[in-house]
């Protein structure tokens, strides 16, 4: 069974370019001043940084897309022109999207500044965008409702404090923060049982969700030895070790397999039944709507 492989290669030219680009941030107009301040607070000399890039792959046949019944919300149904099938294991040419990748071990001794910029999860067409994201403790998480329908956002962490609020009107925004690291926290909508999202809270900025092409980028790390974890809502977790050297880019790859669908243990707050995609209500919504 091929579950681990790792390559590390020098990409000095690219790294030099990235460091140069990083150095340019903060110069110029006033909008960049906060970035400069945040940079100044970094607990290591960024001139010594290295980088981790990589890819998450999927081997085997992914489960078939799930059809969502949005007929109860015509505006959302219209948004997708009736194309309401969703891939819960999103594979394109063997590349796996919506995997949360982060530094799990190796940064315990450093304290990183909290980003000023909020992470935004939008509700569009009765779906969360993005599906998987990450924040730091204390960083603002903004939940936006871009739909002309009522949503509620129900977060059920195990470590952090849960929250559950409704957003009855279009263009509403609600801010929340988490206090402690936790991978991962599930979000769901009690009005629309198919709406699920996942947020990771990590004590540093080195986290990312894989793109459609399965790629991720953890740039400007202090040199050192790290454990990188990849988390997927159906396929569980995997770890890889990597050494980051100044000015170099280490490549890390993860491979999840079809067999893991049956055996995966998925670290999560209040468990969500991954086989439950129907539009019924999991819990009584704050409005008492119990269709």
Binding residues for Cu ion (CB under 5 A): 151, 189, 191-192, 195
Q: Which residue number, 143 or 191, has a Cβ lying nearer to Cu ion?
A: 191
Least distance from C-beta 191 to Cu ion, angstroms? 4
What span, in angstroms and rounded, lies between the C-alpha atoms of 178 and 159?
9
Q: Which residue number, 125 or 222, has a Cβ lying nearer to Cu ion?
A: 125
Beta-carbon contacts of 210 under 8 Å, excluding residues fewer than 6 positions away, are: 55, 56, 95, 96, 97, 98, 99, 101, 216
∠ CA(285), CA(86), CA(184), 5° rounding? 60
Least distance from C-beta 126 to Cu ion, angstroms? 5
Q: How far apart are the first and last CA of the chain?
A: 46
Least distance from C-beta 86 to Cu ion, angstroms? 14
Structure tokens at 122: 């939008």
Which residue, 95, 1, 104, is CA-closest to 55? Answer: 95
Residues 210 and 229 sit within 8 Å (Cβ to Cβ)? no
Residues 197 and 155 sit within 8 Å (Cβ to Cβ)? no
Q: Which residue number, 96 or 143, has a Cβ lying nearer to Cu ion?
A: 143
Structure tokens at 191: 């009005």
Q: Which residue number, 51 or 151, has a Cβ lying nearer to Cu ion?
A: 151
Least distance from C-beta 232 to Cu ion, angstroms? 23
Least distance from C-beta 180 to Cu ion, angstroms? 27
Q: Which residue number, 57 or 68, has a Cβ lying nearer to Cu ion?
A: 68
């Amino acid at each position: 069974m091929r579950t681990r492989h790792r390559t590390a290669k020098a990409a000095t030219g690219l790294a030099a370019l990235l460091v140069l680009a990083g150095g340019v941030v903060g110069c110029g107009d006033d909008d960049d001043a906060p970035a400069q301040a945040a940079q100044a607070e970094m607990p290591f000399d960024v001139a010594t940084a290295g980088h981790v890039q990589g890819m998450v792959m999927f081997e085997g046949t992914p489960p078939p897309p799930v059809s969502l019944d949005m007929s109860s919300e015509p505006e959302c149904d219209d948004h997708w022109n009736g194309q309401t099938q969703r891939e819960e294991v999103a594979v394109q040419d063997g590349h796996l999207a919506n995997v949360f990748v982060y530094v799990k071990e190796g940064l315990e001794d450093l304290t990183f500044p909290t980003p000023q910029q909020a992470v935004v999860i939008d509700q569009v067409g009765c779906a969360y965008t993005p599906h998987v994201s990450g924040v730091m403790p204390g960083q603002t998480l903004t939940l936006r409702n871009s739909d002309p329908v009522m949503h509620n956002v129900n977060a059920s962490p195990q470590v952090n404090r849960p929250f559950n609020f409704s957003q009855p009107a279009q263009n509403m925004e609600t801010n929340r923060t988490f206090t402690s690291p936790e991978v991962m926290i599930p979000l769901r909508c009690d009005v629309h049982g198919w709406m699920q999202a996942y947020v990771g809270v990590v004590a540093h900025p080195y986290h990312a969700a894989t793109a459609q092409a399965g790629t991720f980028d953890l740039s400007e790390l202090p040199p050192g030895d790290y454990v990188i974890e990849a988390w997927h809502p159906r396929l569980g977790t995997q770890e890889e070790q990597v050494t980051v050297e100044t000015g170099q880019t280490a490549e890390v790859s993860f491979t999840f397999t079809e067999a893991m669908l049956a055996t995966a243990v998925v670290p999560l707050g209040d468990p969500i039944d991954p086989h439950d995609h129907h539009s019924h209500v999991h819990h009584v919504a704050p409005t008492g709507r119990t269709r």
